[in-house]
Amino acid sequence: MSHNSIPFRILLIDDDYDMNTRLERMLSGCRASVNGANVVPQIDRLDVDLEEHSDKPGYWKITESTLERVKRLSEQPHYDLIITDFGLVPPQVQKALWGEHNTREPSTEEIKNKILTIRDLKHQFEEWTVLDNQTKPNNLFTAARRVLLISMASNKGFEAFGPVIPNRSQETQGAFPAATILPLDSRQEFFGNDKFYEIYDSPKGRQFYRYILGTYSIRIVELEMLKHAVPSTKKMRVRRSVFNIASFAGAVAAIGVAAQYLSNTGLQLISQGRAIGWWIMIGGLSCLILGAVILSLTFEWFARRVVQWVGPEEQFTSD
């Protein structure tokens, strides 16, 4: 990484391996530049695996291998942005709760008991570290700075967990107490109505959903990278514009000299009793007014040309 690069640490958390793979591939190409400093993403991922409780058939928990990965990732000092799903649910649970041949309506309690959330991941990790005598004050949950919560508030589990804002975002805040939560209701953002399910449940609907979610997330991540970079760049870079500056200063001087000359000439002629002096005085005043208008317009154009926030490094200089 070059000396003018700013690292931006990202962690992807999802039980959908394909979603994490797509996001990782798309985000790895993200770049943002502020005042000549390039923000470069450094991406880690946590693929969450679940397994059935041995003593609670139909109930699921986080696998120990996943908790081991959480432990390793927690060795990092912090993550600037964590992108996480809200619900962690294996296909078997989806089929048991809402399968094609399941005619019963699952209760809210059953849904909440059988579907894990990001907060369950934190709680199970904390319980596991206590049992294994590995408790540390800081981990990826406590050290996260900002969290992009991606949640599909479907009509199937909506009543159990509530809307993304405020219910699910508050639940996620409990998992990342020191972070700023950025909630994204993907169903509402992309479709805004129940037409979503006709697309999502189609043969290639989930693949399409991953694509638009990845594309949408890139825009959010780029904005977060720019926000991250601004405090690190303390100087404004301006384009080298010596000729433009000299031209602007010369125009100001020329207008001033012309107005002064016409005014002096007019006063002399008026003192001699010649009426033409008044016309010359009016000409000098008009020159001053017109020059001020032209200079104002020129200054606005000039300022836009001089101050450049993004551009090739060789075109910039700074003090």
Q: Report the SS3 class of residue 47.
A: strand
Region label for 120, one of left (φ > 0), alpha (ψ between -120 and 50) or beta (otherwise):
alpha
Span 36-82, pLDDT tens digits: 778 889 999 999 999 988 887 778 899 999 999 999 999 887 899 99
Span 119-140, pLDDT tens digits: 999 999 999 988 766 656 789 9
Residue 237 has which token pair? 């870079």
- Would the pLDDT of 159 be above 50? yes
Q: Where in the chain are the domains? A: 5-232, 238-317
Could you tell me if 217 and 150 are in contact, meaning their C-beta atoms sit under 8 angstroms apart?
yes
Span 188-202, pLDDT tens digits: 787 766 666 677 667
Instruction: Please tell me the distance from the alpha carbon of residue 81 to that of residue 287, in angstroms, as a whole number.
Output: 58
Specify the residue for token string 């985000």: 27
* One-character DSSP codes across 128-170: HHHHTT---S--TTTSB-EEEEEE---TTTHHHH--IIIIIHH
